[in-house]
Amino acid sequence: MLTAKQLSELSNISIRIRKNIIEMTHYAKSGHPGGSMSMTDIITFLYFNWLNIDPKFPKKEDRDIFVLCKGHAAPALYSAMAIKGFLPEEELKTLRSIGSRLQGHPDMKALPGIEMSTGSLGQGLSVAVGMSLALKLDKKKNRVYGVMGDGELQEGQVWEAMMSAAHYKCDNLCVFIDNNKQQIDGNIADVMGVEPLTDKLKAFGWEVINIDGHDFEQIESALVAADKVVGKPTVIISDTVKGKGVSFMERQLCFHGAPCNDDQKAKACSELDIKNGVCGCQI
């Protein structure tokens, strides 16, 4: 159970991450704010309340492994990593610029703490399955976590990996689906439906948990439950909202792959500041 203090800390961090996402993509004049903001609460919980990771020892033996399958949400990951201490928060400004460690999509060679280079959708889960099996082979207790997009599920390779993970009983593997119901060309249901997800994933042999992906308590209880599952992998279908946290960005396709302009950035940041209590005028 999370205490009120923990909850408010998590909420403050998630607001800070969202603000970083807005600012860094605005500064870079490119990037993917929408899908970064939909998974912000998930990455917040993982990085600040769950994963066994240490920015001082990014390669430590017993660490948990995190794979950002939907690599275009790198701004959310970089921001969480910065607040955690893997890199200076100031460095977020270098996102997508030449020579930066913060590549448009995560580059494991560039930045310690990134476990896998991603960006081409559909490939991350297979890699996570390989990691999970390697850990099992070495009789290690580390766990593997991932975040996938719901649109990403359209890639055939995802379902190949779903089969492998169940076949090999990867119970040290737990992936979130950032179920924001949108992709680039429109709503998932209109472009290429993926439902009924729960039934499909169950049929593929996975433990399936459904949660609200913006609710820290639900995220926690899902992770606790996943920890206890034996003999199969767990998927946490997390209902989320693309662009979550800034009123005019929510569910707006245009913010999938384009940042705020100057006005929008100012407006978004002041909305987030108000939420964070910076100007103390919520009531």
**Interaction site with another protein (CB under 8 A):** 28-31, 71, 96-100, 102-105, 107, 117-122, 151-152, 154-156, 183-185, 188, 191-192
Residue 33 makes contact with ligand TPP by CB under 6 A:
no
Four-residue CA torsion sign, 105, 109, 110, 115: positive
Nearest alpha carbon to residue 32 among 249, 228, 200, 208: 249
What whole-number distance in Å separates Cα of residue 22 and Cα of residue 269?
8
Q: Which stretch binds ligand TPP (CB under 6 A): 30-38, 43-51, 136-144, 258-266?
A: 30-38
Instruction: Output DSSP code: residue 137.
Output: H
Residue 121 makes contact with ligand TPP by CB under 6 A:
yes
Sketch the per residue contact string, 188 through 217, with ligand TPP: x for CB under 6 A, - otherwise.
Answer: ------------------------------
Residue 180 makes contact with ligand TPP by CB under 6 A:
yes
Nearest alpha carbon to residue 180 among 207, 202, 213, 216: 213
Q: Structure tokens of 214?
A: 């913006």
Q: Which stretch binds ligand TPP (CB under 6 A): 3-11, 117-125, 221-229, 267-275?
A: 117-125
What whole-number distance in Å separates Cα of residue 250 and Cα of residue 159?
29
The binder of 178, among ligand TPP, another protein, none, by C-beta within 5 to 8 A per type, is ligand TPP
Q: Which of 104, 124, 146, 149 binds ligand TPP (CB under 6 A)?
A: 149
Residue 171 makes contact with ligand TPP by CB under 6 A:
no
The binder of 171, among ligand TPP, another protein, none, by C-beta within 5 to 8 A per type, is none
**DSSP-derived 3-state class of residue 180:** coil
The binder of 233, among ligand TPP, another protein, none, by C-beta within 5 to 8 A per type, is none
The angle formed by the CA atoms of residues 256, 258 and 263, to the nearest 5 degrees, is 120
Min separation Cβ 161 and another protein, Å: 14
Cβ burial 211-234 (10 Å sphere, 16+ → b, else e): bebbebebbbebbeebeebeebbb
Q: Which residues bind ligand TPP (CB under 6 A)?
A: 34-35, 38, 70, 72, 119-122, 149-152, 178, 180, 182-184, 242, 256
